[in-house]
Amino acid sequence: MNNIVSMAWVKEQIGAPDVVIADCRFVLGKPEAGREAYEASHIPGAVYLDLEKDLSAPVDEHGGRHPLPDIFDLTVALSRAGIGNETKVVAYDDQGGAMASRLWWLLKYLGHEQVYVMDEGFDAWTHAGYPVTDEVIEPAPVKFLAVVEHSMLVEMDQVQELLGKEGVTLIDSREAPRYRGEAEPIDRAAGHIPGAINRFWKDGLSASGSWKDGAEQAERFSDLDKNRDIIVYCGSGVTATPNVIALQEAGFTNVKLYAGSWSDWISYSENPVATGDEKKA
């Protein structure tokens, strides 16, 4: 099975004892909006996982705007949500898959294979007339044991060491104006990590909001060498994760996430900043 599953497939899983559907809706700058939307209406049986309370650690001097959660804290949150090592997990949001992809990546990072992102998202689900409810369930806690896949992650000092090295491609997943340093509405400095190329994460979606298939994703990244290590980042490590999925769908296997991303990079005053376009992939 691919990483992306259809709404029809998800509908068939409602009530299945080995499946947890996770609502990951979240609005940056409005931290309660996602939970409020969940409590008003969600896929029947879905649990809610909060980007900042469950899927991130508290913000500190370094680590970016959405630091990776402590492994123990994350396993507690997953266990409380009814997610065990054998559970199939389907994540959804209404932000094009960005928040759902964060949960997908975290579970993969913890060694959990059976995790998927629902295509199109909750708005499309409701427009299609699929069932919704406001009933909030309390799942029975189960044990989740993490087997951390360290090879999926790079830290800031590793990115520093790799700058300018052959055999590595650094991908910035933000919108082009932010990448080029022409605009920065969120972080305190504009620009990108030197040597990074730009692949806006939303270009992995079609005009209708559905995920492009593997062949279309491969076309997006056709100029990249699959033998090189790929490091993906964004502003805070969240919207980079849809690009990680897209690269996997395109057949890339050496893909790592710089989880702290741009907001972590610029928290170190000695780190260089580039602006404009980088021409070489």
Section 44-50 average pLDDT: 98
pLDDT tens track for 68-127: 999 999 999 999 999 999 999 999 999 999 999 999 999 999 999 999 999 999 999 999
Domains and CATH numbers, the chain: 4-127 (3.40.250.10), 150-265 (3.40.250.10)
Strands (DSSP E) contained in the chain are 4-5, 19-23, 47-48, 88-92, 115-118, 153-154, 168-172, 197-198, 229-233, 255-258
User: Quick one: pLDDT at residue 75?
Assistant: 97
- What's the pLDDT band for 252 if we cut at 50, 70, 90? very high
* pLDDT above 90: residue 57: yes
Q: Is the dihedral of CA 215, 21, 37, 110 positive or negative?
A: negative
User: Quick one: pLDDT at residue 278?
Assistant: 85
Q: Are 271 and 160 in contact (CB under 8 A)?
A: yes
* pLDDT above 70: residue 281: no
Q: In whole angstroms, give the CA distance from residue 55 to residue 130.
A: 27
* pLDDT above 60: residue 1: no
* pLDDT above 90: residue 136: yes
Q: Which residue has the higher pLDDT, 5 or 278?
A: 5
Q: In whole angstroms, give the CA distance from residue 261 to residue 66.
A: 9
47-56, 148-157, 158-167, 199-208: segment of lowest average pLDDT: 158-167
Section 23-32 average pLDDT: 94
Residues annotated catalytic, as ranges: 234
* pLDDT above 80: residue 222: yes
Instruction: Enter the pTM of the model.
Output: 0.96
- What's the pLDDT band for 166 if we cut at 50, 70, 90? confident
Section 5-20 average pLDDT: 97
pLDDT tens track for 170-217: 999 999 999 999 999 999 999 999 999 999 999 999 999 999 999 999
pLDDT tens track for 90-100: 999 999 999 99
